[in-house]
Amino acid sequence: MREAVCIERGSRISRFFAAFGLLILVLLITAPFYGGRSDLYLLVEIFSYLALASLWNLLAGYTGLVSIGQQAFVGLGGYTLFALTIFFGLPPLLAVLIAGPVAAVLAIPTAWVIFRLRGAYFAIGTWVVAEVYRLIFAQVSALGGGSGTSLPTQIIQSIAPTRAARDNLIYWTGLGLIVAVFAVIYLTLRLRWGLALTAIRDSEPAAESVGVDNYRTKFLIYFLTAGATGSVGALISLQKLRISPDAAFSVNDWTAFVIFIVVIGGIGRMEGPLIGTIVFFLLREFFASLGPWYLMLLGAFAVVITLTMPKGIAGLLAERFDLQLFPLRRRVHFLEQKSKDSTSSASADALERPGKRQKPGVSTKNME
């Protein structure tokens, strides 16, 4: 009996989705020609949240680094933009790109300190760091101190002569940013790194035993996501034309909402942030006017999803209908040739975590 094994990545659905995605991309690139001002503004908001959610997903869902302090880099990116344009006269769009590496550089000492913490305490540590940055910038009077500052008119005008042109340029920058973020994340996961990350998330000791350098890998991912988050943060502040410590470092806007998006959409899957962002903006469209009720709804919704649908919508789709839009999982096909020449094939998702039928609360894993 000879066995052949074939490892396949894509599926019909994912190929269809790729084609569909290309179409959407073309539509988005040409949006300024048929979209209105507020449409473009909304789209940039959507791109921003989608990027932040995808990056958080990479950090927490794939690498297991649960951070509730990514707003630190959103704020750092924003303030870097303002500083670079106001103090150094850099073109704003260029500053958006440079804000990324600046935030990444600041992630280095940050990581060095807080990687000493584990699990949920690491999460709170990231929050403390974000708070420190917020409190520090509230003391920088050159950038408006506690009440913040607006982007000076001549800097705004330096982007482009007309308002329409400015809107379009900011829009295309946003589009470019989200495409770049997606590309980077996809590549990271598709290469060997993707397996390394999943290994780390599932079991650090086991991952180390097969040669994965946990610390370095985690640090690299933290560094990369910080940088990307910084650029997104710069874009967000650029679009708002204003910055203040509370807004730039808001845990609600840049962490709570982002986590909500990823949890509902599906953590640990690339489709998750996409689905979650859509759901989030739909909910915002209908319920944001309710003020605190809206946030209570989000909070309660997040709890319910965690209890009933821990893998989010994307997880549900993947498990029930074997639906997968981004070709990341490696599907193993066993082709058996029996003596009677009949072939049967079974496929198993090589990266799937086994379902646990044991009762809740029974845990023998030792965590710190």
Read off φ and ψ for residue 347, nearest 5 degrees: -120, 140
Q: Which is nearer to other proteins, 89 or 310 (CB)?
A: 310
Q: Is position 263 an interface residue for other proteins (rule: CB under 8 A)?
A: yes
Residues 65-124 that bind other proteins (CB under 8 A): 66, 68, 112-114, 116-117, 119-121, 123-124
The DSSP H or E segment spanning 331 is strand 331-337
As measured in angstroms, the least distance from the Cβ of 159 to other proteins is: 34
Angle formed by the axes of helices 312-321 and 257-265, to 10°? Answer: 10
127 contributes a contact to other proteins by CB under 8 A: yes
* Residue 356 binds other proteins (CB under 8 A): yes
Q: Does 354 bind other proteins (CB under 8 A)?
A: yes
Report if residue 347 touches other proteins, rule: CB under 8 A: no
**CA separation for the pair 280, 18 (Å, rounded):** 23
Find the shortest distance in angstroms from Cβ 9 to other proteins.
Answer: 24
Q: How many residues bind other proteins (CB under 8 A)?
A: 57
C-beta of 42 vs 283, nearer to other proteins: 283
* Site for other proteins contains 302 (CB under 8 A): yes
CA gap 94, 238 in Å, rounded:
11
Mark out the alpha helices in the chain (DSSP H runs): 12-29, 31-34, 37-56, 71-88, 92-114, 119-137, 153-159, 163-190, 192-202, 204-209, 214-240, 245-248, 251, 257-265, 271-287, 292-308, 312-321
Q: Is 320 in the site for other proteins (CB under 8 A)?
A: no
Which class for 160: exposed (0-12), middle (13-18), buried (19 or more C-beta within 10 A)?
Answer: middle
Cross-strand bridge partners of residue 343: 337
Q: Does residue 197 touch other proteins according to CB under 8 A?
A: no
138, 175, 221, 318: which one contacts other proteins (CB under 8 A)? 138
**Does the protein bind other proteins through residue 317 (CB under 8 A)?**
no
- For other proteins, the binding residues (CB under 8 A) are 60, 66, 68, 112-114, 116-117, 119-121, 123-125, 127-129, 131-132, 135-136, 138-139, 251-252, 256, 259, 263, 267, 291-293, 295-296, 298-303, 306-307, 310, 354-365, 367-368
